[in-house]
Structure 1
Amino acid sequence: MATYKLVATAAMGLESIVAREVKDLGYETTVENGKIFFEGDELAIVKANMWLRTADRVKIVMGEFNAYSFDQLFEGTKAIPWETLMAVDAAFPVSGKSVKSKLYSVPDCQSIVKKAIVERMKAAYKRMSFLEESGPTYKIEVAIRNDKVTLTVDTSGAGLHKRGYRTGQGEAPLKETMAAALIKLTNWRPDRPFHDPFCGSGTIPIEAALIGQNIAPGFNREFISEEWPIIPGSIWDKVREDAEAAANYDQPLEIYGTDVDHKMIEVAKENAIEAGLGDLIQFKQMQVKDFTADNDYGVIVGNPPYGERIGEEEEVEKMYRDMGQVFEQYPTWSKYIITSHPHFEDLYGKKATKKRKLFNGFIRTDYYQYFGQRPKRKND
């Protein structure tokens, strides 16, 4: 097996969580903004795609070099042994981006990278004519920042947030990867109650159930690199078998999702059924002010409306006040709320124990964390 330089991409603010997930798979990491680098073989590629809950994609870093001219970009790209990854019939579309660099024309950069790879492949496979590109697809990206070129190949295909269970969604759906990260930033364990009072299409409760039963997030989907000859089908089969064996389907869970919109509750139920979790999560139409709980030491994770739409602000601010009043009646519960509203703590009526800056899509938000009372020990 070969060793590759791999990168798991992540939303800003989630790097440490993704790095922890990569380390849990057994790989050493180095972290930059939005990127977690690690080295591994074909098995590492498959395991990372199957198991990373909070990463956006897994890519192979094919090469890095500085380029200040199109000639340097061409020669640097051509020097990379693309034939070790791609067969002669490989299809390889090239996308690109450029930030603060002399080579700022992205279409020109894409075209030159494509041309250089074609030249390299023709020489490697002793072809005089054009390459057919009728085989498996390798999505190549040329990214230039401060004149440093990074060439990567995407191993995931559709983003890792696409778990394969979403049959419907609301107007501003939370990405599955972000939902998983919000849960991983809490103190929740599968033996504690879990409640999302703004569940929308059910993403947070569904991700909680997947985490609670240790079900691999990539179990029910396909990946672009499954078509690649360099990764034998036997590796994919083995990783899926191991994932099936690792799942704890007998773990009892107490997970609730409520929302004011009865239509979204129906969508959430359908999504949970599609994920194979229909019996595990209890969905119900309810306003947050009507929240009740019979048990102690539960965890609330919520992504409420932020009040950014015209005419919504007053209603949202009232809801934040209601939330603070009702949640205060449950001192043993821990509450975690993500919002971009600048005065959330004032409206909620209490300073958060901790808060963390996160980006929900392109919206800068804070994740307000209110820790509940700890259970008393028997000797206390």
Structure 2
Amino acid sequence: MSAPRLLSPLTLRGLTLRNRLVVSPMCQYSATDGLPGDHHLVNLGRFAMGGFGLVIAESTAVVPEGRITPGDLGIWSDEQIEPLARIARLIRSYGAAAGIQLGHAGPKASTQRPWQGFGPLTEADAARGEPAWPTVSASARAAVEGWPEPAELTRDGIAEVKAAFVAAARRALAAGFDVIELHCAHGYLLNAFLSPLANHRDDEYGGDLAGRMRLPLEIVRELRAVVPDDRPLFARVSAVDGELTGTTADDTVAFARELGAVGVDVVDCSSGGVGKRYAHPEHYGYQVPYASRVRREAGVASMAVGLVVDPAHAEAIVADGEADLVALGRTALDDPNWPLHAEAALRASGAGANGGGDGATAEAWASWPPQARWAMERRGPLLERLGPWTPSS
């Protein structure tokens, strides 16, 4: 029986992922002065143990003022290298590749944690030791109506941002990460430059699409100069803005084409973030068409993300050529062992195979860590004999 496509390896430059499943960057808002703690270690380590091919750490701020909230991870100081390296080592020890997303929150910085309101930091936040700080953006335009207005980033400020991303990439490499992802999505700084709704500049960093793409592309070129040739570089994009007059899918295909030309290996296709609050379409895999268009029209590998919850659906996305990778966020939080469960389900159903699921029972636990595999293998035949639980059983 041939393996499901979702479970097949993927080689990107000198890195081979054991399968096509990725943990999407998910902020935990639980760092202290940008430093990760045991929560981050356990949170990310469980996904590697659960069978994902690539685990990407949450958006990690390249400068203190680039944090979304006071609890964001940071990579602006050499002091942060070893705590991050501890996480990368753990992820790799369980067979997954370790990734990190580098970001700058721009006009969405200086906000509360989601469970504290997710609005701008207030005097009450300052009273408990978390004061607000000044924010910057492509233009002096608030990210959300009623929020503080950011300062327009100056030429000197742009140079400082570029240097901060490069320094952060060097620290990420020193920490042992296999993949670096540049955050160009969700209304944060680089997305603010890309979006016509947020970028009203009249210099070479604004205006038409070429001008709006300039800063992210300049950063990619500088990152590619310091990231070794054998390590892949990802970029997360918002394929469309929250409003029809903003970034379009056509714009994103053009941007993805340019990203590929300057050394990005995978475009991670999300959406929304600029304009009114993005309303998620009510269907599974609602962002997959963006990844499909990028892969087909821009000629660069893509990653699909967003309401993918079923193994057969994830298998179809890869097998049908809509994306090279499938990233899970909340689905992974709900089940950190999702890849292991997906493997058993796909093998049992014969997905990706010639014929049925013969032999699936023997293979169901093959990818589990040995500490758990032996126990699962012993229990499996018993559960098969017993069948589904009922009140009478």
Coarse TM-score class (shorter-chain normalised):
under 0.3
For CA contacts below 8 A with separation 6 or more, give which structure has more relative contact order: 2
Which structure: larger Rg? 1
More strand by share: 1
TM-score (norm 2): 0.25
More helix by share: 2
